Structure 1
Amino acid sequence: MTPPESRPAHVYVGAEADGPSTDTSKISLSGWRRVTIGEIAVVGSGSTPDRTKDEFWNGDIPWITTGEINYGVVEDSEEKVTHKAIEYGLRLFPAGSILMAMYGQGATRGRIAELGIQAAINQNSCAIICNSEVVSKYIYYFLENNYNFIRGLSNGGGQHNLNNGIVRELEILLPPLPEQRKIAAILSTWDDSLSTLTRLIAAKRQQKRALAEQLLTGQRRLNGFEGEWETLRFGDVFIRITRRNIEGNEHALTISGTHGLIDQREFFNKRVAASDLSGYYLIRRGEFAYNKSYSAGYDFGAIKRLNLYSSGVVSTLYICFALNRADADSNFYEQFFEANLLNEGISGIAQEGARNHGLLNVSVKDFFELDLPFPPPPEQRAIAAVLSTLDDEISALDRLQASVQEQKRGLMDALLTGRVRVNVEDA
């Protein structure tokens, strides 16, 4: 739902938030009542101690920023403050407080987290300290379920920000205490499952990274393979692609570290390429591209193979190339590039651009002179198969996690609006 331009003093966000809607007027909500956050909790803000005063910083008291408010439980912070900062007025919030990010044009604004420790927070966030008549975790889930709606309540102007007044005025559906506890307990089990999946995915990714580095560099050999690997020039394995877009292809691509070569409209929600794409390079499925001009630290060394589409076009800033040997395995080299194993070589030939301040440029000539390992073709294929199997396992876990998250969203909407009631006899 799009929030009205002028809202009432109290804003009911219960069943009107994005997601499955529920007409609560047709639901029997015996014992439930509508309350504002301000009626059942204290809402407080943080602040930033004077950074010019060393005695306020590098202490042992956690100081939470909005970037660290990203659901789950916050147990530590990157920056710490001293007891002197507390003496000079910096407020401490108790464990169990619900934190909300108030500022941020991306996904940050409106995100929440539970404070697992006593900590201070910055001025761009608020802490919600619930009283004894409510279950803090129930309020946490209610706010999570209404994230998109709450973001829409931000003040206008140059920046869209939330504030303590908006948070206090939020009106929610509050069931009796036993039902709050039961709903919170049910949803917590789903969060536990999601946390387990997150750990499994992280462990599997780490396993793949470690194995990839060993296998792709010859530090570890698969059974049945021995002997020295060749070292070839990049230009001995690949040939540069400079075909122009004479066929009028409108599929403008960009490189994403996560998604690979992807349509700009899917990645940016708009096309950022020039209106005339005739001068762009046309690449086809299975060919590779590298952006030879990049801001330092942004997708450094990212080389991607075109997998998602049959063809597309990229800026002439990209170095495009295809395999030039019939015995080279494309999947092996895709894994090699994904492991960022060409980064050291690229960093050695990168030069600061004379005309583009802040950009680094890689000479095409130097790029094709880089060294590449060339294992025997059967070993290339075997290594690629092992690593692709791990990729498939990671993708399966990612899909499972997305499915569980979607089921949790549906369950939250049902339980937090009273559309589905819980049995509280054993709560």
Structure 2
Amino acid sequence: MLKKEIKRNYPIDWKEYTFDTLFDFDGGLPVSRANLSNKGICYLHYGDIHKLKENYIDVERDADIIPKYDVPLENLSENYILNDGDIAFADASEDYEGIGKSVVVLNKGNIPFISGLHVIVARDKTDLLNREFKRFFLSNWNIRKQMKRIATGISVLGINRPNLRKIDAVLPPLKEQQKIASILSTWDKAIELKEKLIEQKKEQKKGLIQNLLTGEVRLPGFDGDWMKKKIGDCIIESREIATDPILEKRLTVRLNLKGIEQREVNPIEKVGATTQYVRKAGQFIYGKQNLHKGAFGLIPEKFDGYQTSSDIPSFNFKRGIDSKWFFYYMSREGFYRNLERISTGTGSKRINPKDLYILNIKVPGINEQREIANVLSTIDKELELLNKELNNIKHQKKGLMQLLLTGKVRVKA
């Protein structure tokens, strides 16, 4: 039972129930990812629960992309078959945020669907829960707190059926559940729409990058031939040694074009253990081990004067090269992933500047470079704005959801 002071936070007409009262629990059929394919019966692996952005899985909609297990249906226990309205929990997580991650199964067509490895299934014992409300009520801060409390383990955190049965939930009347679910579903649709706009904008950018940076499409007013140059004709490594190494001013480069950020200080690291080099705003910088994985970028103003070792070299631009144009040229996925072929060394291979320098590229005149960079920068600004809007919608929904799920804000049913 919930503590009295917590129960008092809910409206008096809301009722408290244990999960044991609400649900029967079953486990899943343990099948490794290696034994799944695109043939057979739809199969829900706990890893796919963690990957889903949505709080539900629509079997009919997603049947073609859900992994399959090739087994005769008659060989399976009914306990392994997921039905419409079941809640599927991942019983293992590598972090606290993923503890008890769950999805509601939408399966009105009764398509055979197997609960899988590390999956716990909660099936209705009663009619106390609205089907759509199930998608949201587990996000209640009090239920999340209980989920984290029952988790066990060190490197991998787990939940089990006996502990799940002990969790308490305070539920509004069914009609209010339905209204709450309807309101929150509207917010989900707004989020989904914004995410689609972002994906469309990304595809537009990808097409522009491919066309403008290869010369397949030319901007109005430009028709001259592009010059064949080596990358070494465009950039030159900066080797300014830091005379005052500072642990708190170290940089790292994130994978997948995620940019440059301040590196966390390693508690056992000592100042002066390795030579550090001064990095300047506007320089091109990359990680030698991960250039082919998108670990590169332009150093932002806020990191001017920061430092890295020689494993993360930085470069000044030679005359006639626009820094943003060069970054966009490098950011074509097909281009940078192909750079793995020039990595050298044993063990952890690296892409050294001397090997990068000799690669041939085609370079337009400086004015065309700038115009191309301006077009792509505009797209990036639009993407940044869309992402801010998306984050705002998610933040607003999160706040509203807690108010609705705790009865701080009531809705007329």
TM-score by length of 1: 0.84
Structure 1 residues 171, 283: CA separation in 2 closer, same or farther (over 3 Å shift)?
Answer: same
Could you say what secondary structure the match of 1:217 adopts?
Answer: coil
| Contact 2:293–2:337, Cα closer than 8 Å, also in 1 | no
Instruction: Tell whether 2:46 aligns with 1:46.
Output: no
Matches within 5 A, 1:10-21: 10=1
Write the distance in 2 (CA, Å) between the matches of 1:51 and 1:345: 29
| Contact 2:242–2:307, Cα closer than 8 Å, also in 1 | yes
Structure 1 residues 273, 43: CA separation in 2 closer, same or farther (over 3 Å shift)?
Answer: same
1:314 is aligned, of 308, 318, 326, to 308
Instruction: Tell whether 2:63 aligns with 1:63.
Output: no
Match of 1:19 in 2: none
Instruction: Tell whether 2:281 aligns with 1:285.
Output: yes
Write the distance in 1 (CA, Å) between the matches of 2:353 and 2:2: 59
| Contact 1:252–1:273, Cα closer than 8 Å, also in 2 | no
Instruction: Tell whether 2:87 aligns with 1:80.
Output: no
Higher mean alpha-carbon deviation, 179-188 vs 107-116, is at 107-116
Instruction: Please report how far the alpha carbon of residue 100 of structure 1 lies from its aligned counterpart in structure 2 after TM superposition.
Output: 1.9
2:253 is aligned, of 249, 252, 255, to 255
1:286-316 Cα shifts (integer Å, max 9, x gaps)? 112121224xxx9624321111422322232
Could you say what secondary structure the match of 1:276 adopts?
Answer: coil
| Contact 1:71–1:114, Cα closer than 8 Å, also in 2 | no
Structure number having the greater strand percentage: 1
Match of 1:4 in 2: none
Instruction: Please report how far the alpha carbon of residue 333 of structure 1 lies from its aligned counterpart in structure 2 after TM superposition.
Output: 1.2
Gaps of at least 5 residues in structure 1 are: 1-9, 16-21
Could you say what secondary structure the match of 2:303 adopts?
Answer: coil
Match of 1:332 in 2: 325
Q: Counterpart amino acid of 1:313?
A: Q
Instruction: Please report how far the alpha carbon of residue 347 of structure 1 lies from its aligned counterpart in structure 2 after TM superposition.
Output: 2.9
Instruction: Tell whether 2:88 aligns with 1:105.
Output: no
Instruction: Please report how far the alpha carbon of residue 102 of structure 1 lies from its aligned counterpart in structure 2 after TM superposition.
Output: 1.7
Instruction: Please report how far the alpha carbon of residue 350 of structure 1 lies from its aligned counterpart in structure 2 after TM superposition.
Output: 2.1
2:403 is aligned, of 390, 411, 414, to 414
1:324-357 Cα shifts (integer Å, max 9, x gaps)? 21x2111111222233354265233223x32x2x
| Contact 1:112–1:144, Cα closer than 8 Å, also in 2 | no
| Contact 2:138–2:144, Cα closer than 8 Å, also in 1 | no
Write the distance in 2 (CA, Å) between the matches of 1:108 and 1:30: 31
Instruction: Tell whether 2:151 aligns with 1:154.
Output: yes
1:381 is aligned, of 370, 387, 390, to 370
| Contact 2:85–2:106, Cα closer than 8 Å, also in 1 | yes
Instruction: Please report how far the alpha carbon of residue 165 of structure 1 lies from its aligned counterpart in structure 2 after TM superposition.
Output: 2.1
Once superposed, what is the RMSD of the aligned Cα atoms?
2.7
Instruction: Tell whether 2:87 aligns with 1:93.
Output: no
1:256-310 Cα shifts (integer Å, max 9, x gaps)? 1353110123xxxx5489322561222111112121224xxx9624321111422
Write the distance in 1 (CA, Å) between the matches of 2:311 and 2:81: 51
Instruction: Tell whether 2:42 aligns with 1:35.
Output: no
| Contact 1:256–1:299, Cα closer than 8 Å, also in 2 | no
Matches within 5 A, 1:102-181: 102-106=91-95, 107-117=97-107, 118=111, 119-130=113-124, 131-146=126-141, 148-149=144-145, 150-157=147-154, 159-181=156-178
Higher mean alpha-carbon deviation, 307-316 vs 205-214, is at 307-316
1:114-158 Cα shifts (integer Å, max 9, x gaps)? 223442122312222234221133233121243752234301455
| Contact 1:33–1:174, Cα closer than 8 Å, also in 2 | yes
Match of 2:223 in 1: 226
Q: Counterpart amino acid of 1:25?
A: R
Instruction: Please report how far the alpha carbon of residue 415 of structure 1 lies from its aligned counterpart in structure 2 after TM superposition.
Output: 0.6
TM-score by length of 2: 0.86
Aligned-pair identity in percent equals 25
Instruction: Please report how far the alpha carbon of residue 206 of structure 1 lies from its aligned counterpart in structure 2 after TM superposition.
Output: 1.2
Instruction: Please report how far the alpha carbon of residue 26 of structure 1 lies from its aligned counterpart in structure 2 after TM superposition.
Output: 5.4
| Contact 2:294–2:331, Cα closer than 8 Å, also in 1 | no
Structure 1 residues 273, 232: CA separation in 2 closer, same or farther (over 3 Å shift)?
Answer: farther
| Contact 1:63–1:122, Cα closer than 8 Å, also in 2 | yes
Write the distance in 2 (CA, Å) between the matches of 1:341 and 1:198: 24
Structure 1 residues 87, 408: CA separation in 2 closer, same or farther (over 3 Å shift)?
Answer: same
Q: Counterpart amino acid of 2:287?
A: N
Write the distance in 2 (CA, Å) between the matches of 1:334 and 1:272: 34
Match of 1:6 in 2: none
1:404 is aligned, of 386, 389, 393, to 393
Q: Counterpart amino acid of 1:237?
A: C
Q: Counterpart amino acid of 2:250?
A: A
Higher mean alpha-carbon deviation, 119-128 vs 31-40, is at 119-128
Higher mean alpha-carbon deviation, 103-112 vs 188-197, is at 103-112
Match of 1:205 in 2: 202
Match of 1:303 in 2: 296
Could you say what secondary structure the match of 1:311 adopts?
Answer: coil
Write the distance in 1 (CA, Å) between the matches of 2:267 and 2:235: 29
Structure 1 residues 238, 272: CA separation in 2 closer, same or farther (over 3 Å shift)?
Answer: farther
Write the distance in 2 (CA, Å) between the matches of 1:71 and 1:114: 12
Instruction: Please report how far the alpha carbon of residue 32 of structure 1 lies from its aligned counterpart in structure 2 after TM superposition.
Output: 0.9
Q: Counterpart amino acid of 1:264?
A: R
